[in-house]
A and B are shown apart, each in its own frame.
Chain A
Amino acid sequence: MTYLLLSCKEATMMTAKREEGKLGLVGNTQLTMHLAMCRLCRRFHKASQIISSESKCIESTETLPNDAKNRIRELMNHQS
């Protein structure tokens, strides 16, 4: 039975693989079992999911500097 048990290190790495559908049936079962038993890995998994989904919406508040705008405008006029 012990071969079915994952360490926390393995389990956290496998959560990333699962997000990409890269775990087989055995891996998925092992991970589900581990997460059901391990609060620390559940917390990590949740935190990682939040970081993952929020990272996609990150934008800077800075604007394109004016000299860059002028340069790009000139290049575009030149090309068209």
Chain B
Amino acid sequence: MEKEIQQANPQNWLQLYGDMLYQYCLPRVNDTAAAEDIVQDTFLSALKGIGGYKGEASEKNWLFAILKNKIIDYYRKKASQQTVTASSVINDSEDPWFNEAEHWRNNTGGGEWHISNNETERKELHTIINLCKDGLKELPQQVFTLKYMEDLPSEEICKVLNISSSNYWVLLHRARLQMRGCVEKNWL
């Protein structure tokens, strides 16, 4: 059988990829209306740029690449409207994890984690991680999402969120500590 060159097929996009893109996007923006808009923008941009689709990436990967860019745009826009500054978030609280000698406080050390191969357990863990992420304050949450869910390099995250590199590392540090504590508390 002859293998055809992949061609973009926009009539089928919504049916084939609509839910998939939405399911990826929603936990990353945590807002149903925003996720719908981003998926919509993704399809419309793809349609506009369809001449540039060379069939090198699969149609799915191509659409996902556009989606991921839209997610970054969403955070860039959010950052430009943000009134909370990184330094106010960083200075607002004392350290609940480490004592004056910068050692772990009692009961903050945590237990041994093991990753499960069981799909149901992993899905459960994903639900818990997502809930814990939603419980983070705005800026650490954005840093966490862009770093751990979107895997962007730190330099890019600093640019997108318009924060300094030193603030980035402090925010990420906070987010990681809080996430570990929260996930551990809720994970059976």
Binding site for B on A (CB under 8 A): 7-10, 12-13, 16-17, 20, 22, 40-41, 43-44, 46-48, 50-65, 68-69, 71-73, 75-76, 79-80
Contacts and interface: CB of A to CB of B under 8 A. Distances in A.
Interface string B10-49: 1001100011011110110000100010011001100110
Nearest to B132: A51
Interface residues of B, number: 54
Contacts of A62: 22-23, 26, 32
B129 interface: yes
B101 interface: yes
A54 B122 contact: yes
Interface of B: 10, 13-14, 18-19, 21-24, 26-27, 32, 36, 39-40, 43-44, 47-48, 95, 97-98, 101-104, 109-113, 115, 122, 125-126, 129-130, 133, 144, 148-149, 151, 153-154, 169-170, 172-173, 176-177, 179-180, 183-184
A16 B172 contact: yes
Given A16-B172, A55-B148, A68 B109 contact: no
Interface SS of B by simple majority: helix
A47 B184 CA distance: 9
B110 A75 contact: no
Nearest to B130: A58
Contacts of B24: 59-60
A76 B103 contact: no
A48 B70 CA distance: 27
A31 to B, nearest CB: 14
